[in-house]
Structure 1
Amino acid sequence: MLILYFFLSFGLLAYAQSPGSLGDFPLAVKTPYLHAWVRNANGNAPQQEWPQLFTQEHILAWNAMIRVDGQPYQWLGNSNIANFSTTTSSEITPTSTIFTIQAGPMKFKATFFTPIEPNDYTRQSIPFTYLFVDGFVADDGNPHTIQLYSDISGEWISHDLSTQMKWDTQDSPDNMVYHHLEPRDPKSMIDNADSAEDATAYYATPKRPGLTWQTGADTDCRTRFAQNGSLTNAKDTEFRPVNSKWPVFTFAIDLGSITPTTQPDPVVWALGLVRDPLVNYSAGSGFQSRIGYYWSAYRGIDDVISDFLGDFANARVRGQTFDDGLLKEASAISPEYAGIISLVTRQIFASMDITIADDDRGRKSPSDVKIFMKDISVSKRANPVEVIYAALPALLYFNASFAHDLLLPLFEFQSSSSYPNGYASPDLGSGYPTIGGNTSATEELAIEHCGNMLIMAYAHAAKSGDGSLISIYHPLLQKWAAYLVQYSLHPNNAVSADGISYPGMSNLALKGILGVHSMGKIDEQLNLSNTTFKDKANELIQSWKQFAVTDTHIQAEYGKPGTWGLMYNLFPAVWLETGLIDDEILNREAQFYLSKAPPGDQSYSLDDNAGRDIAHPHWSLMTAAVIPSGFRPVRDALIQSTHLQAYNVSQKFPLPMRYTASTGVASFGTTGSAAQGAAFGILAMNLKNVEISRSNSGGSGNVEKRTPIGAIVGGVIGGIAFVLIVATAIFFWRRRRVHRLRGGIDLHDEHHAKPHPFVTQYAPVNNNDSAFQFSQQRSDASLSPPPWQESLPEPFSEPQNSERPHSYTSGRNHLSATPTLPITAPQPLSTKQREILRQNQSHQSQPSESAVSTLTNPWSAAGSGREDVLRAEVDELRREMEAIRNIAQPPPSYQ
Structure 2
Amino acid sequence: MPDTPFLGDPVLGRRDLFRFGGAAGLTVAASSLLTPDASAEVATATSPSAAHPVRPPATPLAVRSPYLSTWLAGDYLAGEWAGFWTGRTTAMTGLARIDGVSYVFMGQPGLPDGGVELRGMIQTDVTVTPTKSRFTLHAGGIELAVTFLSPIEPGDLRRQSAPLSYVSAQVRSLDGAAHKVSLYLEISAEWAHGDSNTLVGWNSASTLGVRTLSVSPTNPGVLAENGDMASWGTVAWSTPERAGLTWQIGQDTVVRQAAAGNGALSGASDSAQPRRISDRWPVFGLNLDLGSVRGPSEPFVVSVGHIRTPAVSYLGTPLSPLWTSYWPSSQQMIADFHTDFPAATQRSDRLDDRVTGDARRAGGDKYAALCALALRQAYAGTELVVRDGKPWAFLKEISSDGNVSTIDVLYPAMPVFAYLDPQYLRLLLEPVLDYAETGGWPKAFAEHDLGSSYPNASGHNDGNEEDMPVEESANALIMAAASGVTGHYAILKQWADYLVDNALDPGYQNQTDDFTGFIAHSSNLALKGIVAIGAMSKLATAAGNSADAARYLAVARDYIAQWQTKATDTTGQLKLAYDRPGTWSLKYNGFADALLGLNLVPAAVTAEEGAWYLAHRNQFGVPLDPRHSYTKADWVLWTAAWQHDHPQVRDALIEGVYNFVTTSASRVPFTDWYDTISARQAGFQARPVVGGIFSLLALPGKH
TM-score (norm 2): 0.89
- Is 1:103 aligned to 2:103, yes or no? no
For residues 340-355 of structure 1, the aligned pairs below 5 Å read 340-355=370-385
The 3 A distance-change label for structure 1 pair 650 and 17 is farther
- 2:698 equivalent in structure 1: 684
Candidates 398, 418, 429, aligned match of 1:396:
418
Candidates 94, 104, 109, aligned match of 1:64:
94
Segment of structure 1 superposing worse, 482-491 or 91-100:
482-491
Segment of structure 1 superposing worse, 542-551 or 270-279:
542-551
1:425-456 per-position Cα deviation (integer Å, ceiling 9, x unaligned): 11101121111113434585101111111111
Candidates 633, 638, 642, aligned match of 1:626:
642
Conservation of the 8 A alpha-carbon contact between 1:511 and 1:569: yes
- 1:91 equivalent in structure 2: 127
Post-superposition shift, 1:415?
Answer: 1.1
Aligned length: 655
- 2:81 equivalent in structure 1: 50
Candidates 178, 190, 199, aligned match of 1:164:
199
Question: Residue type matched to 2:366 in 1?
Answer: E
The 3 A distance-change label for structure 1 pair 76 and 215 is same
- 1:661 equivalent in structure 2: 676
Aligned equivalents of 2:46 and 2:524: distance in 1? Answer: 36
Post-superposition shift, 1:267?
Answer: 0.8
- 2:226 equivalent in structure 1: 192
| Pair member with larger Rg | 1
- 2:287 equivalent in structure 1: 252
Post-superposition shift, 1:651?
Answer: 2.4
Conservation of the 8 A alpha-carbon contact between 1:444 and 1:493: no
Conservation of the 8 A alpha-carbon contact between 1:488 and 1:513: yes
Aligned equivalents of 1:241 and 1:213: distance in 2? Answer: 21
Candidates 598, 615, 635, aligned match of 1:578:
598
The 3 A distance-change label for structure 1 pair 107 and 176 is same
- Is 1:209 aligned to 2:232, yes or no? no
1:671-712 per-position Cα deviation (integer Å, ceiling 9, x unaligned): x21111111110111269xxxxxxxxxxxxxxxxxxxxxxxx
Aligned equivalents of 1:185 and 1:441: distance in 2? Answer: 33
Post-superposition shift, 1:7?
Answer: 5.3
Candidates 275, 278, 281, aligned match of 2:308:
275
Instruction: Give the 3-state SS of the residue equivalent to 1:307 in structure 2.
Output: helix
Conservation of the 8 A alpha-carbon contact between 1:552 and 1:592: no
The 3 A distance-change label for structure 1 pair 432 and 633 is same
Conservation of the 8 A alpha-carbon contact between 1:425 and 1:449: yes
Question: Residue type matched to 1:586 in 2?
Answer: T
The 3 A distance-change label for structure 1 pair 634 and 250 is same
1:783-827 per-position Cα deviation (integer Å, ceiling 9, x unaligned): xxxx9xxxxxxxxxxxxxxxxxxxxxxxxxxxxxxxxxxxxxxxx
The 3 A distance-change label for structure 1 pair 595 and 552 is farther
Name whichever structure is richer in strand by fraction. Answer: 2
Question: Residue type matched to 1:224 in 2?
Answer: A
Aligned equivalents of 2:192 and 2:62: distance in 1? Answer: 14
- Which stretches in structure 2 are left out of the alignment for 5+ residues? 1-27, 49-53, 112-117
Instruction: Give the 3-state SS of the residue equivalent to 1:625 in structure 2.
Output: helix
Aligned equivalents of 1:264 and 1:669: distance in 2? Answer: 41
- Is 1:452 aligned to 2:479, yes or no? no
Instruction: Give the 3-state SS of the residue equivalent to 2:468 in structure 1.
Output: helix
- Is 1:675 aligned to 2:692, yes or no? no
- 1:509 equivalent in structure 2: 526
Aligned equivalents of 1:448 and 1:211: distance in 2? Answer: 55
1:195-238 per-position Cα deviation (integer Å, ceiling 9, x unaligned): 00101011111122211111111111101111111111112122
Aligned equivalents of 1:640 and 1:450: distance in 2? Answer: 32
- 1:264 equivalent in structure 2: 297
Percent identity reads 30
Question: Residue type matched to 2:539 in 1?
Answer: I
- Is 1:554 aligned to 2:574, yes or no? yes
1:121-167 per-position Cα deviation (integer Å, ceiling 9, x unaligned): 111110111100114232x3322111100111111111111211111
Post-superposition shift, 1:482?
Answer: 2.1
Aligned equivalents of 2:46 and 2:631: distance in 1? Answer: 24
Instruction: Give the 3-state SS of the residue equivalent to 2:344 in structure 1.
Output: helix
Aligned equivalents of 1:91 and 1:25: distance in 2? Answer: 10
Post-superposition shift, 1:342?
Answer: 0.6
Candidates 168, 171, 177, aligned match of 1:142:
177
**CA-based RMSD:** 2.4
- 1:321 equivalent in structure 2: 350
Conservation of the 8 A alpha-carbon contact between 1:555 and 1:564: yes
- 1:724 equivalent in structure 2: none
- Is 1:373 aligned to 2:409, yes or no? no
Question: Residue type matched to 1:644 in 2?
Answer: N
Segment of structure 1 superposing worse, 679-688 or 658-667:
679-688
Aligned equivalents of 1:281 and 1:13: distance in 2? Answer: 53
Aligned equivalents of 2:480 and 2:166: distance in 1? Answer: 36
Post-superposition shift, 1:13?
Answer: 11
Conservation of the 8 A alpha-carbon contact between 1:21 and 1:649: no
- 2:17 equivalent in structure 1: none
Candidates 666, 675, 678, aligned match of 1:651:
666
Conservation of the 8 A alpha-carbon contact between 1:3 and 1:18: no
Aligned equivalents of 1:77 and 1:386: distance in 2? Answer: 37
Aligned equivalents of 1:413 and 1:687: distance in 2? Answer: 35
Aligned equivalents of 2:200 and 2:194: distance in 1? Answer: 12
- Is 1:112 aligned to 2:141, yes or no? no
Aligned equivalents of 1:654 and 1:152: distance in 2? Answer: 20
Question: Residue type matched to 1:293 in 2?
Answer: L
Aligned equivalents of 1:647 and 1:538: distance in 2? Answer: 42
Candidates 543, 554, 558, aligned match of 1:535:
554
For residues 423-572 of structure 1, the aligned pairs below 5 Å read 423-439=445-461, 440-442=463-465, 444-461=467-484, 468=486, 472-499=487-514, 500=516, 501-528=518-545, 529-530=547-548, 531-550=550-569, 552-572=572-592
Aligned equivalents of 2:457 and 2:701: distance in 1? Answer: 33
Conservation of the 8 A alpha-carbon contact between 2:258 and 2:265: yes
- 1:311 equivalent in structure 2: 340
- Is 1:383 aligned to 2:412, yes or no? no
Aligned equivalents of 2:277 and 2:417: distance in 1? Answer: 38
Conservation of the 8 A alpha-carbon contact between 1:7 and 1:14: no
1:607-642 per-position Cα deviation (integer Å, ceiling 9, x unaligned): 12133111100000010001143x312111111111
- Which stretches in structure 1 are left out of the alignment for 5+ residues? 360-366, 462-466, 689-786, 788-895
Question: Residue type matched to 1:256 in 2?
Answer: G
Aligned equivalents of 1:558 and 1:649: distance in 2? Answer: 35
Question: Residue type matched to 2:593 in 1?
Answer: A
Post-superposition shift, 1:478?
Answer: 2.2
Aligned equivalents of 1:414 and 1:559: distance in 2? Answer: 34
Conservation of the 8 A alpha-carbon contact between 2:620 and 2:657: yes
Conservation of the 8 A alpha-carbon contact between 2:35 and 2:365: no
- 2:11 equivalent in structure 1: none
Question: Residue type matched to 2:186 in 1?
Answer: D
Aligned equivalents of 2:100 and 2:494: distance in 1? Answer: 72
Aligned equivalents of 2:267 and 2:539: distance in 1? Answer: 63
Instruction: Give the 3-state SS of the residue equivalent to 2:511 in structure 1.
Output: coil
Post-superposition shift, 1:552?
Answer: 4.1
For residues 597-616 of structure 1, the aligned pairs below 5 Å read 597=617, 603-616=619-632
Aligned equivalents of 1:336 and 1:119: distance in 2? Answer: 27
